[in-house]
Amino acid sequence: MVQIFVVEDELLIRQNIRGIVENMQGPYAFAGEASDGEMALSMIQEIMPDILLTDIRMPFLDGLSLIKHAKAMMPWLKVAVISGYGDFEYAQKAISMGVNQYLLKPVRQAELVQAIRTMAEQLEQERSARGASPASMEQTDVQLALKRRWLEQVLYEQPPLSQLLDRAQTLNLDVAKGRYLVTLFSFDTSDADLYRVKAIVQKTLQEAGCELYLFNTADQMTLLSCDNDLQTLNERVYQLITMLRHELREVCPVVTAVISRVTPRLGEVGRVTRDAGQTMRALRNIRAGKVINMNDSAPDSADLLHIDLPLGKAFQEKLLYAEPDDVPALVDETLNGSAAGQLESMLIRYETLVSAVRTAAGMAETASSDDRQQAMADQIAGQFDLLAAAGSKSGFRDALIGILQAGLREQTRRTNTGSSYRYVIGRAEKYTREHFCDPNISLLSAAQHVGMSSAYFSTVFSQTTGQSFITFLTSLRIERAKELLTNTRMRLSEIAMEIGYNEPNYFSHVFRKSTGVTPKEYRQQHGG
């Protein structure tokens, strides 16, 4: 399905374009619309459309700036400019920025439909090219092979730094940087599709200018990124993850990524890669399809996981990144595995529960004194009769799950832990609830409020809450609209303005899309 997004500040023109797109025959979908570039940039970063139809002259963020930022985030994006006769100079600049189609207002239906179909065909041709033939995939380019060999040395052999830098210079690799990150990818797909996955990944990374990657196995890849500025490095890594997920969405919708800890030394890349590999192995089946950034967990969290006995290191690593809902599966996996024999002993079961209490207390009181951790342990242990629970396997299982979930939930509640995103996302949600009626609120402003880049924030928000930021913002606005429709006689235009939409027609469109009925129908149904 080809997703199409429309940006136009004139309501009637936007409605006309929307109608044309919605009535097109074929694999085309109207993905959304915005009246200015700033709002559009926030929305398309969430929606990730295939085609952008945009005006040039718009308030807040003009079309040229929108195209520049959108193409940087989504290199696959096809763009059609719909502009007036007087904007020829702007059109020239737009074309130089990679715009695919240029249409004059008033745009005719047949002309717009043909432009969209042409861009859709270009998208399909590019996707087909990524499903490369064996000859194109197995290219024996000597330069690429030498770069892969250099990366293998960095990751696994660690020769003298001077030797690495000399070889990098010979290969024209700009790697003398202040920060290094390794991203491990796992592609969850059938063996039949792995060939296509590899072809698409290679094509995507080459187009993005990424040379330092290699496939460790058919379904796992390692990517090295470096920069002097940590924020720039972080942003680039998240953009690459977004690009790969987009390009693989039809072949491999489940892509898991683990971002290693940042290191300032090229010689330490191998070590952080091994750590990231352990995390990937531990979490691949538990957190499939997620992005796990090891820099976002508390540096001392692993030291707080004192569970030993049947619950060993692998369990500890999984628990470090788990949510409360993940605990039953983690526990069952352990109880049904190699630990089953040990747990035949009631004494071992009891000692395991005691150790789990210490672990839960450590997670909840990460940065606190021993006295506070002991008080937390007493609080958690007081919720369970450990000795009685150890008396049966079923009682042991239930108590173990309850203890670990209690620790994770307490960790969520307390804001002094740095081991998760919950506090940051909580701040973003609070900010959004307080400002959702402001027409200028956007993913960009929310990200700035919590001190994160937009790409980073978008991934973290959707992964933590289970919904995109735009979906969350829209739900707040729609719920408020329902209240006003039911309890007041405000006109639809007034309600639209009240909840942050400048245009009643767009409000009606969003409301119907969310509820299945128009605002007028909703008011009639609920007696407003």
The CATH number that applies at residue 244 is 3.30.70.270
Between residues 116 and 384, which one has the greater pLDDT?
A: 116
SS3 content of the chain, % helix, strand, coil (to 5): 60, 10, 30
Q: Which of 124-128, 161-165, 252-256, 327-331 has the lowest mean pLDDT?
A: 124-128
Residues 277 and 347 in one domain: no
Report the interhelical angle of 109-130 vs 11-22 (nearest 10°).
60
Domain boundary (391, 413, 435) is at 413
Residues 315 and 451 in one domain: no
* pLDDT tens per residue across span 301-342: 333 333 345 666 667 667 766 778 888 988 888 888 776 777
- Residue 302: which H helix or E strand, with range? helix 301-304
pLDDT score of 299 = 34
CA-to-CA distance for 488 and 376, rounded, in angstroms?
49
Residue 384 lies in a domain: yes
- CA 262 to chain CA centroid, nearest Å: 19
179-188: strand order across its sheet: 213-217, 220-227, 179-188, 254-259, 291-293
Rounded mean pLDDT of 355-375?
Answer: 69
**Band of the pLDDT at 36, cuts 50, 70, 90?**
confident
Instruction: Note the pTM of the prediction, 2 decimals.
Output: 0.55
Residues 332 and 441 in one domain: no
Q: Kindly report the CATH number assigned to the domain that includes residue 429.
A: 1.10.10.60
Residue 236's SS3 state is helix
Domains contained in the chain, number: 4
Residues 96 and 148 in one domain: no
pLDDT score of 78 = 92
Q: Kindly report the CATH number assigned to the domain that includes residue 103.
A: 3.40.50.2300
pLDDT score of 486 = 93
Provide the residue range defining the domain that includes 367. 308-413
Return the exposure string of 145-175: e unless at least 16 CB atoms fall within 10 Å of the residue's CB, then b: eebeebbeebbeeeeeeeebeebbeeeebeb
Contact (CB, 8 A) for 334 and 343: no
Residues 119 and 24 in one domain: yes
* pLDDT tens per residue across span 90-120: 666 767 777 888 888 888 899 999 999 999 9
